[in-house]
Amino acid sequence: MNLSDPHHPWSRLSAGARRHVDERGVAAPYGFATRVAALAMATERARVSLFERFSLRAMGVACLLLLGSLAANYSAISNAFAEEPLVPGDPVAELLDGSSS
C-alpha cells in the first residue's frame, strides 16, 4: 500500500479535492444579523426562584458576619502573624489564679 503512487485511490481523491473550487456564497442571508439581534433582545428574563433569592441574601449575611468576626479578632490575628509569636502560659494556672481573687 504505497500512498505516493499516483494511481492509488487515496491519491486520486486527495488530488481531486485540491483542484475543486467552492463557488458557494459565504455571506449570511439578508437580515440575518438583525434577526439574531432582535431574538437576543426579545428573550424574557427568567424569574428568579425563591430559593435563589434567599440564598443570595444568606451569602450577603455570611459575608457581613465574616467581616465582623475579622474586625473583632484583629488583635489575635495580627499577633498570630507577628515575627515573634506570643507563647501563652498555662491556661489552667491562669484560670485558677484569676478565680481566687
Domain ranges of the chain: 50-100
* DSSP category for residue 84: S
How many angstroms separate the CA atoms of 36 and 43, rounded?
11
Better-predicted residue by pLDDT, 3 or 42: 42
Average pLDDT value for the chain: 80
Question: Residue 18 has what pLDDT?
Answer: 86
- 26 pLDDT tier (thresholds 50, 70, 90): confident
- pTM above threshold 0.85: no
Runs of H (alpha helix) within 73-90: 74-80
Better-predicted residue by pLDDT, 18 or 48: 18
